[in-house]
Amino acid sequence: MKRLIALCLGISSMLVAAEVEVTAEKFFADEKKKISIFEGHVVVIKEGDKLTAKKVTIEFDDKKQPIRYIATGDAKGNLTMNQKKYYGEAEKMTYEPSKSLYTLEKKAFLHEIETDKKVYGDFIRVDQISGHYEVDGKGAAPVKFIFKVEDKKQ
């Protein structure tokens, strides 16, 4: 199985000059549409964050800076948001770096590692700038939030 390692269309100059490494079995780019598509065992690594999926599409602006990462097909990630470590998974995960916005859709799960808080839903949106979290079951199932409480007994 041949693997392609690509440093894609100026990604390395992303916000705060963080380097992004994308590994996949297939790579396609369309400069007119300003997209890059990676398929087959895709792994995206940026600093301490790691995302895996069957397919990742990266959309770019006119300056060849990424405006949106869209991971589909068994998307899983170890992410840092608001200085906290998370593990997330969903059928579709979207990250918009300029807005610091993560969106997880379809069978979404987000786990804050340090506090062991877990949230399940069909739609989870995390806005890092405002600190807002939005979770919706989309009618398919109720939203579930799991957290631990210490009982102080005297």
* Domain contains 154: no
In a domain, 42, yes or no: yes
Distance CA 85, CA 87 (A): 7
Residues whose CB is less than 8 angstroms from the CB of residue 23 and which lie 6 or more positions away in sequence, other chains included: 3, 4, 5, 6, 41, 42, 43
Is residue 151 in some structural domain?
Answer: no
Domain membership of residue 17 (yes or no) is yes
Q: Where in the sequence is the domain holding 33, given as residue range(s)?
A: 4-146
Whole-angstrom Cα distance, residue 123 to residue 28? 29
pLDDT tens track for 63-90: 988 999 999 999 999 988 778 889 999 9
Does 96 reside within a domain? yes
Report how many domains make up the chain: 1
Has residue 37 been placed in a domain?
yes
The answer, yes or no, to whether residue 62 has pLDDT greater than 70, is yes
Distance between CA atoms of 92 and 69, rounded to whole angstroms? 10
Provide the CATH number for the domain around residue 10. 2.60.450.10
Return the DSSP state at 141.
S
Asked if residue 152 belongs to a domain, the reply is no
Residue range 19-52, pLDDT digits in tens? 889 999 999 999 999 999 999 999 999 888 899 9
